Chain A
């Protein structure tokens, strides 16, 4: 495993918040994905914010892990927002033709949570 221990997953209301501060590679990525999904299963969260402010580099592998995690969470009924992507990271991903389909993105944690909360409120109103 990695020297930093598991990536913490926090509960904020009906959403989950996790800040990725270490490189998401191989076993770390697998464990992260599993932890996030199990947390959704356990809490019944309807939203998930993945904060990647701490990542200086995001290659297509990591981008795919993030997108996949988002789509898996969606199957379990949780909407995912990836936040805090650095401008150079965004530029690199676009240059490589990777658009992160299937997940939403927002500027930072605050915006991400607001987006989820607004969406959930709207859903409740519509019913």
Chain B
């Protein structure tokens, strides 16, 4: 399985440039490693305070439904916290941080709460550093930890965006496939039931798919059923007319069916002229018309 890091194309070069931008020097990492002891000392009280904060807000509380969950995330949080004071910032570290972001995306915690939680963390660290360290040292130490936490945050946001884009891509592909189901009714008669709103992009795609299928099937008649299209405005009508014109160029006729009372009124009130194609209220009549265009008809079986 490919790691999250390689899926995101996060390589050594990206690591170098990002570390440079966040100004994470080796000295920072060394300093953080030195602060590990202090971190260990305060790990538990920082963690407790942190979860008290999260649990006192309904928006974040809902992510921790029971004690078992809380125990588990507290343990993970300790690991995360100590990770800041390991004195390392390499590709393995990046993978670990990306996974943290992806995990939060998966449970549906949005970045605003995630970033808000980081704020709490930073405040706590600032508080401990100023109290326990000499003035100059505390400030420098805090600066180092701030760099690394901001770096972590950037990785988490990367993971969020990547996960969202993946979901979006999957949905778009599914919609593309579902949006133009061309069905063969009979030899040389095709049917396209359109469902849902039609925008320019979809109309364009409908035209291309339909043209391809018409040529593939050597179809003479294309029935477009718009019973499932909620709104037929001038734009949609224009797309339909263009599709009809394109259809004629490849030698096929278009029949428009599924025109409801509402749609009929809209088309006439908008003053749209779609008289270039036969229109019918019912798909059944459309199929009969299509058959008659090919010199065929449906008859009762003789007994």
Q: Which residues of A contact B (CB under 8 A)?
A: 33-34, 37-38, 40-41, 44, 46, 68, 71-78, 126-127
Contacts and interface: CB of A to CB of B under 8 A. Distances in A.
A74 B279 contact: yes
A75 B292 contact: no
Interface residues of B, number: 22
A75 B282 contact: no
B279 A77 contact: yes
Contact of A34 (B259, B261, B269, B282): B261
B265 A41 contact: no
B298 to A, nearest CB: 10
Interface of B: 259-265, 267-269, 274, 278-282, 284-285, 291-292, 295, 297
A75 B279 contact: yes
Secondary structure of the B side of the interface?
helix
Contact of B259 (A68, A76, A126, A127): A76
Nearest to A123: B292
22 contacts: A34-B265, A37-B261, A37-B262, A38-B261, A40-B261, A41-B281, A44-B282, A44-B284, A68-B268, A68-B269, A72-B265, A75-B259, A75-B263, A75-B268, A75-B274, A76-B261, A76-B264, A77-B259, A77-B280, A77-B282, A127-B291, A127-B295
B301 to A, nearest CB: 18
A88 B295 CA distance: 46
A37 B264 CA distance: 8
Contacts of A76: 259-261, 264, 279-281
Given A38-B261, A72-B267, A127 B292 contact: yes
A78 B281 CA distance: 8
Given A38-B261, A40-B261, A127-B297, A75 B269 contact: no
A36 to B, nearest CB: 8
A90 B42 CA distance: 97
A42 B263 CA distance: 15
Given A41-B281, A46-B285, 8 more contacts: A37-B262, A38-B261, A71-B268, A73-B264, A77-B259, A77-B278, A77-B280, A127-B295
A40 B260 CA distance: 9
Nearest to A35: B261
A41 B260 contact: yes
Contacts of A78: 281
Of A33, A71, A76, A78, most buried by chain B (CB within 10 Å of CB) is: A76
Contacts of B262: 37
Contact of B264 (A44, A46, A75): A75
B282 to A, nearest CB: 5
Contacts of A40: 261, 281
Given A34-B261, A68-B269, A77 B281 contact: yes
